[in-house]
Structure 1
Amino acid sequence: MAAGSLFAQQKQKDQFSTICKQLSKSKIIRGDFEQTQKNAKTGRSVNSSGKYTISAEDGMIWFTEVPVKSVMAVTKTYMIQEIKGRQRKIDGSKNPTFTHMADVISSLFTGKYEEISNNFAVKCVAKEETNFGWEITLTPKDNTISSYIKEISVDCILLPSGECQIRNMKMITFTDDSTTYRLNNQVVTDNLNSDEAKYFEK
């Protein structure tokens, strides 16, 4: 039984390593998102949608279009919140949990295997209905992350082109509140456009 368990764990590590190698080919990812935030106590949900950009080197930007236009950009050192043209820049050291989580998400989308494995226990299971999809569950090992996040689950697919994409992601907090992202129309590129680059100015 012990040998079988070790074999299964190694298989999951190999699967996750393969997924990360595919994801790591993506320098910059753009797409559309639909977000649902659910409060565990009240059962109420808040929906929003828009576009996102994730850069392996710089960080991530969420361009929310509905219900209110806004921008949230997060790097390892700062956050930018922009609503109705008014911009606020926040030192990341004042909210390390948020910037740490943003770095984790960026690392996941760009396949940084070592960083993810160091911070999370990883469970990777192939979907029964297809040979080209996986369900990945991340459980925090890092104390900073576990103080906020209980679990992250991800649906990932491998396209006929060989490109790997994350289609759905759900984060559950220690209070059992959840945030779910449905991601569509992903495009991979090597360069930021001018609208994106201004949020990542050094």
Structure 2
Amino acid sequence: MKKWLSLMLICVSPFVSAEVTDLPSLQQQLAKSIIVRGDFTQSRHLEMFELPLTSQGRFTLSKSDGLLWQQNTPFPVNLVLTENKLRQTFSGQAPQIITAKENPMAFYFSHVFLDVFHGNTDALKAQFEMEFSVSEGQWTLLLSPKQPPLNAVFKHIQLTGRDDIDKLVLQELRGDKTEIQFSNQTSQPEELTDAEQAQFSF
């Protein structure tokens, strides 16, 4: 579960350019756009390795359809997450499909993190202690899980940005850390392309 979970965590919601001064204004910005597309660079820092494991690719996040996560380097990985299904395809292999009925815990994690990026603070308050701050135009949101199963895995989740979410850090209790840098985020076009829609049809 953790192999694909680390992949699907790489999503982001866009911000219309506006001043974010507190948690309610951040929530409004996170919840605005219907579709978000962008690039990502992920660095996975493992205690057992000196150098981080780095990957890059593109993502599409749709409020109505789900998450399309396309890793390009160091090897192709295609992941599609909907409300109740997950399809993952590794280079040269047949697609694997997991349903919410088959693995409810995996989808619990998935939906919690999608709540983070959609700005669903009502749901997040039940799962996290939230600390918000702003310094020189850059905001930071620190989420500390307060109940199982999240607090058995993560020490905290930190998001930082200005007009967009620029960086996400997942700090695990055992010392491993995942850092994701986002770039080129856009909410245009506001509908899925035919190719994107085909990815969600399974």
Q: Taking structure 1 as the reference length, what is the TM-score of the superposition? A: 0.80
* Structure-to-structure mapping, 1:57-96, within 5 angstroms: 57-84=64-91, 86-96=94-104
Which residue number corresponds to residue 122 of structure 2?
114
Counting only pairs closer than 5 Å after superposition, residues 18-33 of structure 1 correspond to structure 2 as 18-33=25-40
Query: Which residue does 1:10 correspond to in 2?
Result: none
Same amino acid, percent of matched pairs? 23
1:201 to 2:201 alignment:
yes
- Structure 1 residues without counterparts, runs of 5 or longer: 1-13, 159-164
Q: Is the 8 A contact 1:136 1:156 kept in 2?
A: no
List gaps (5 residues or longer) in structure 2: 1-20
RMSD: 2.0
CA distance in 2, matches of 1:61, 1:148: 24
Of residues 12, 22, 25, the one that matches 1:15 is: 22
Q: One-letter code of the match for 1:157?
A: R
Question: Which residue identity lines up with residue 64 of structure 2 in the other structure?
Answer: E
Give the number of the structure whose residues are more often helix, by fraction.
1
Point out 4+ residue stretches in structure 1 off by more than 6 angstroms: none
Question: What's the TM-score, normalizing by structure 2?
Answer: 0.80
| Letter aligned with residue 66 of structure 2 | G
Partners of 1:121 and 1:44 in 2: CA distance = 31
What amino acid sits opposite 2:121 in the alignment? Y
Greater C-alpha Rg: 1
Question: CA 1:107 to 1:57, structure 2 compared with 1: closer, same or farther past 3 Å?
Answer: farther
**In 2, Cα distance between the equivalents of 1:146 and 1:58?**
28
CA–CA distance in structure 2, aligned partners of residues 174 and 61 of structure 1: 28
- How many aligned residue pairs are there? 180
Aligned residue for 1:143? 148
- Say if 2:111 is the partner of 1:103: yes
Query: Which amino acid in structure 2 is aligned with residue 178 of structure 1?
Result: K
CA contact (8 A) 1:120 1:138 kept: yes
